[in-house]
């Protein structure tokens, strides 16, 4: 077990595993593999697991029903907290979200975290009878209904939510790219979710992710009510391997696959302008990727001043999306070496002794 922290130690960060369920497999196999990845993360002491919601476009995300998926993950895990990152709330009936979340929180033993956002791919809204440019207004309305339901207030018609779930009000997280969104989350006392990557403005095309996100953190903290606990989740693309060359080879395969998809989806966008032969270093910078050995990744992440301010750090392998065995090894290496160097310490009593390697088989590159 890890020694107890001293009274002067900084607050312990929580370590999360994030997935968009993009393994190169069928939908059923994706769900099986990510369930195993979350179980593996729990076994290595991770505190949270987050899954994204995407409708229709399997190359962007493989899961339209995150609460359904997390219900079976809850039955196969014991301790790890389970979060949505995010539910695209404008496309949902907020009362149904409130009910499903309440039931899942009970079934999981109170382990649910609710990340919410406006979503998503613009064309996905059409199938729901919505317009993408109306998403902010609908999101605000649905979020108000959700809060009222969990607070036990009368809903239209006078009914109240059953089962009651006031505890979920303290577990709302809001995802945003904007200062206005950060202020909204802060004023509500919600958690702030920061993305693994973020579009650069025309005025600052070379800005670092920290340059973009530190002002959002400042805005959030300034808006947070006195006495409210700050909750800042910094998500980053992270792929760790014991062999740097293998890590870079797999990163190149995945990033070029992502580049091709982005160029096909937006022929006039930056991805098309780079061309299929863009240098790997350019892709790593453009996708905000941290990749390599534990030492490589630790050095890279330590330079991220926005991540240093996060209370929660969450790592995902997108847009690399390496094979399953490599994801398992990356999870193990992250828990063993990378996260402790960033201020995380394992709290459960199942921590294995330190080892120099991990018995996870790694297939040869094709």
Q: Tens digit of pLDDT for each residue in 289-307? A: 999 999 999 999 999 999 9
Element (H, E) at 191: strand 191-194
The pLDDT value recorded for residue 364 is 40
Q: Residue 17: which residues within 8 A CB-CB, separation 6 or more?
A: 37, 38, 41, 46, 48, 49, 50, 314, 315, 316, 331
Q: Is pLDDT of 165 > 60?
A: yes
CATH of residue 75: 3.20.20.30
Q: Is residue 32 part of a domain?
A: yes
Q: Is residue 214 part of a domain?
A: yes
219 or 4, greater pLDDT = 219
The dihedrals phi and psi of 175, each to the nearest 5 degrees, come to -95, 140
Q: Tens digit of pLDDT for each residue in 99-123? A: 999 999 999 999 999 999 998 788 8
CA angle in degrees (0–180, nearest 5) for 101-106-110: 90
pTM of the shown model? 0.91
The pLDDT value recorded for residue 358 is 37
Q: Is pLDDT of 354 > 50?
A: no
Q: Is residue 141 part of a domain?
A: yes
pLDDT band at residue 288 using 50, 70 and 90 as cut-offs: very high
Q: Is residue 363 part of a domain?
A: no
The overall average pLDDT reported for the chain is 91
Q: Domain tally for the chain?
A: 1
Average pLDDT over residues 137-152: 97
The pLDDT value recorded for residue 341 is 96
Supply the range of the domain harboring residue 90: 14-242+289-341
Q: Is residue 56 part of a domain?
A: yes
Task: Enumerate the β-bridge partners of residue 113.
Answer: 83
Q: Is residue 36 part of a domain?
A: yes
Neighbours of 236 (CB within 10 A): 24
Q: Is residue 234 part of a domain?
A: yes
Is the bond leading into 203 cis (omega within 30 degrees of zero)?
no
120 or 31, greater pLDDT = 31
d(CA 52, CA 62): 8
Average pLDDT over residues 71-85: 98
Q: Is residue 249 part of a domain?
A: no
């Amino acid at each position: 077990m890890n020694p107890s922290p001293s009274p002067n130690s900084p607050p312990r960060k929580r370590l999360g595993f994030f997935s968009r369920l993009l393994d190169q497999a069928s939908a059923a196999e994706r769900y099986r593999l990510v369930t195993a990845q979350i179980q593996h993360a729990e076994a290595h002491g991770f505190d949270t697991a987050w899954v994204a919601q995407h409708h229709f476009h399997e190359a962007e995300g493989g899961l339209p029903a995150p609460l359904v998926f997390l219900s079976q993950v809850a039955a196969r895990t014991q301790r790890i907290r389970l979060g949505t990152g995010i539910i695209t709330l404008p496309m949902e009936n907020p009362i149904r979200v409130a009910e499903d979340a309440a039931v899942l929180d009970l079934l999981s033993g109170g382990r649910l975290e609710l990340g919410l956002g406006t979503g998503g791919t613009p064309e996905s809204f059409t199938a729901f009878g919505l317009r993408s440019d109306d998403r902010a207004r609908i999101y605000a309305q649905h979020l108000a209904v959700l809060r009222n339901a969990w607070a036990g207030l009368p809903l239209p018609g006078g009914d109240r939510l059953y089962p009651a779930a006031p505890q979920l009000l303290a577990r709302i997280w809001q995802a945003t790219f904007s200062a206005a969104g950060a202020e909204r989350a802060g004023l509500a006392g919600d958690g702030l979710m920061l993305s693994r990557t973020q579009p650069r403005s025309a005025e600052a095309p070379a800005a670092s992710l920290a340059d973009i996100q530190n002002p959002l953190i400042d805005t959030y903290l300034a808006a947070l009510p006195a006495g409210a606990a700050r909750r800042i989740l910094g998500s980053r693309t992270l792929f760790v391997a014991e062999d740097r060359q293998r890590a870079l080879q797999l990163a190149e395969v995945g990033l070029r696959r992502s580049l091709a998809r982005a160029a096909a989806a937006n022929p006039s966008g930056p991805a098309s302008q780079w061309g299929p032969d863009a240098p790997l270093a350019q892709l790593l910078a453009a996708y905000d990727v941290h990749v390599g050995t534990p030492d490589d990744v630790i050095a890279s992440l330590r330079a991220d001043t926005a991540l240093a301010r996060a209370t929660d750090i969450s790592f995902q392998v997108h847009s690399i999306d390496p094979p399953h065995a490599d994801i398992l090894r990356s999870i193990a290496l992250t828990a063993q070496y990378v996260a402790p160097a960033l201020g995380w310490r394992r709290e459960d009593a199942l921590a294995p002794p330190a080892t120099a390697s991990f018995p996870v088989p790694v297939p040869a590159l094709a």
